[in-house]
Structure 1
Amino acid sequence: MATKSTNKTEETKGGLGRYFRGVKSEFKKVVWPSKETVIKYSTIVIVAVILSSLLLLAYDRIVMFIFGFIY
């Protein structure tokens, strides 16, 4: 069986610096949304959460009302 001999110092040399340079270059490629877009999408999410919680509350009240007759 063939074994691969590698020097560990050569593999990790500059690893952390290379990682952060790669992260920096990737962040330059990111297209960030505008402030108006973030506000609009956040509003949509908040309204959807409120509506779904109200729907779940109504469903819970209806089920509890029906179970009130059974027990």
Structure 2
Amino acid sequence: MSTAREQPDPRATLRAGLPDRYLTPGDIAEIFEVPKETVYQWRKKRLGPPGFRIGKHLRYDPADVYRYVRERKAASAAA
């Protein structure tokens, strides 16, 4: 029996409902199936979901990520 706590797959958690923690750039990369460097480029160019800093750490609010996805879907449907 493993004593280490396994983190749930962020993609599955997001589909089922919002996770109860802030997401890391690695989580965002996994959710959108892109390299982590792409996530940093999105942030630099202000293209992806909005993030914020906690000290030196970059985090994403799951509600903002969900809203970003809904807006992207709506924009794609309107085009």
- TM-score between the two structures when normalised by the length of structure 2: 0.26
More strand by proportion, 1 or 2? 2
- TM-score between the two structures when normalised by the length of structure 1: 0.28
More helix by proportion, 1 or 2? 1
